[in-house]
């Protein structure tokens, strides 16, 4: 679903010229001289400004006689994984695989190891082989927690020796396999949304972070997650991830107005009180920071309430986007004001 109002023309033009990934899916750019429309992130040569027209969705571009660009493929959902990445991830998750895909295996699949490495570095901050290694360790950690012997877990995840497994395990998570039953880890994944990919983290089946992947403060948020739960963060699976993905999809389709997900508790008592109140703001409605302060019985704590909203690490699920200025203006939002506008428009449209 597209927002009813676009960002201003200057913002869209700057985003298009700089290939700003934050605007992927928010608007589309038609090039009058070629009759082609593109994503803001298109790698093709940028046209002159007078040849550019902006659209809020692909249907609008098609209705105006523009055809989709073959370079950036604007008809595909934003944030969706390329088919070759999906296949690689499926291979890694396959229970019958040990998760060991070497460069020669990539070449056999018709993939250049260098290109695969660059994609994973850009989108996950690590090489493909490091990503695969973390998945294997996460799988082994889960099996040991389920009382499987360490030796069996090592062999099942493709390690030839117990010593090699123990060394890789400790290097990744910071403690030995035998300590797994008494120590926790935070599992990390990415989920595609119409607003771009989100980074999702969970601990023991409870959601502890959901943030837009391009948010500048993401690294500091991940550091706080490590500190708050005294646990390493590794790429992997968690039982709650399936529910997060399905409920987000329903929300963006306009079919879900409230989330039913287990949330891990963190933050100060005051922050938790503010976040609990955020979850009581009805879908499709907004409140001011002053309203929020009054509702929790602390009318003079408007600034403190605003700071607590900014410290929310579970975007959308805890709907801090529903808080606006007293004069009705959109105020700060970690994911960007254009995303806040999108979310508010989506909810208002769904309630009409």
pLDDT, tens only, 307-324: 999 999 999 999 999 999
Beta bridge partners of 37: 30, 68
Q: Which helix (H) or strand (E) covers residue 240, if one does?
A: helix 240-252
**pLDDT category of residue 47 using cuts at 50, 70 and 90:** confident
Of the segments 11-15, 47-51, 192-196, 286-290, which one has the largest average pLDDT value?
Answer: 286-290
**Set 42, 69, 72, 320: catalytic member:** 320
Higher local confidence (pLDDT), 232 or 121: 232
**Given a cut of 70, is residue 92 above it in pLDDT?**
yes
pLDDT reading at 100 higher than 70: yes
The reported pLDDT for the residue numbered 333 is 87
Mean predicted lDDT score pLDDT of the chain = 88
Residue 1 pLDDT level (bands cut at 50, 70, 90): very low
Q: What is the mean pLDDT of residues 190-219?
A: 90
Confidence of residue 95 (pLDDT cuts 50, 70, 90): very low
Active site residue 208: no
CA pair distance 80, 76, nearest whole angstrom: 7
The one catalytic residue in 38, 69, 72, 208 is: 38
Rounded Cα distance, 131 and 164, in Å: 18
The 3-class secondary structure across the chain, one letter per residue, is CCCCCCCCHHHHHHHHHHCCHHHECCEEEEECCCCEEECCCCCCCCCCHHHEEEECCHHHHHHCCCEECCCCCCCCCCCCCCHHHHHHHHHHHCCCCCCCCCHHHHHHCCCCHHHHHHHHHHHHCCCHHHHHHHHHHHHHHHHHHCCCCHHHHHHHCCCCCHHHHHHHHHHHHCCCHHHCCCCCCEEEEEECCCCCCEEEEEECCEEEEEEECCCCCHHHHHHHHHHHHCCCEEECCCCHHHHHHHHHHHHHCCCCCCCCCCECCCCCHHHHHHHHHHCCCCCCCCEEHHHHHHHCCCCCCHHHHHHHHHCCCECCCCCHHHEECCCCCCCCCCCCHHHHHHHHHHHHHHCC
Q: Which residue has the higher pLDDT, 62 or 287?
A: 287
Q: Is 69 a catalytic residue?
A: no
Radius of gyration from C-alpha coordinates of the chain: 22
CB 209 within 8 Å of CB 267: no
The residue-averaged pLDDT of 111-124 equals 86
Distance CA 139, CA 107 (A): 26
pTM of the entire structure?
A: 0.75
């Amino acid at each position: 679903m597209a927002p009813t109002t676009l960002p201003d023309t200057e913002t869209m033009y700057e985003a298009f010229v700089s290939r700003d990934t934050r605007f992927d899916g928010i608007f589309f750019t038609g090039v009058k001289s070629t009759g082609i429309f593109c994503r803001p992130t298109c790698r093709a040569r940028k046209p002159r400004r007078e040849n550019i027209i902006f659209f809020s969705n692909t249907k609008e571009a098609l209705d105006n006689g523009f055809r989709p660009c073959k370079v950036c493929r604007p008809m595909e959902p934003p944030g969706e994984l390329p088919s070759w990445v999906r296949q690689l991830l499926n291979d890694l998750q396959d229970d019958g695989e040990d998760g060991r895909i070497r460069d020669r295996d990539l070449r056999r699949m018709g993939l250049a190891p260098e290109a695969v490495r660059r994609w994973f570095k850009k989108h996950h901050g690590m090489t493909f082989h490091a990503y695969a290694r973390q998945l294997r360790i996460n799988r082994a950690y889960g099996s040991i927690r389920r009382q499987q012997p360490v030796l069996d877990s090592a062999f099942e995840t493709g390690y030839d020796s117990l010593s090699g497994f123990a060394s890789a395990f400790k290097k990744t998570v910071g403690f030995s396999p035998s300590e797994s039953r008494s120590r926790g880890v935070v599992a990390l994944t990415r989920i595609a949304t119409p607003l771009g990919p989100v980074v999702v983290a969970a601990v023991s089946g409870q959601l502890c972070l959901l943030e837009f992947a391009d948010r500048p403060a993401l690294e500091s948020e991940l550091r706080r997650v490590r500190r708050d739960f005294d646990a390493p963060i590794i790429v992997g699976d968690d039982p709650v991830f399936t529910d997060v993905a399905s409920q987000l999809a329903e929300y963006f389709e306009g079919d879900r107005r409230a989330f039913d997900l287990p949330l891990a508790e963190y933050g100060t008592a005051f922050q938790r009180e503010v976040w609990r109140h955020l979850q009581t703001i009805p879908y499709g409605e907004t409140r001011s920071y002053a309203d929020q302060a009054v509702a929790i019985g602390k009318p003079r704590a408007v600034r403190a309430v605003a700071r607590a909203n900014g410290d929310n690490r579970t975007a959308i699920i805890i709907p801090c986007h529903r808080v606006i200025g007293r004069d009705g203006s959109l105020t700060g939002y970690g994911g960007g004001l254009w995303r806040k506008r999108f979310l508010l428009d989506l909810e208002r449209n769904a309630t009409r």
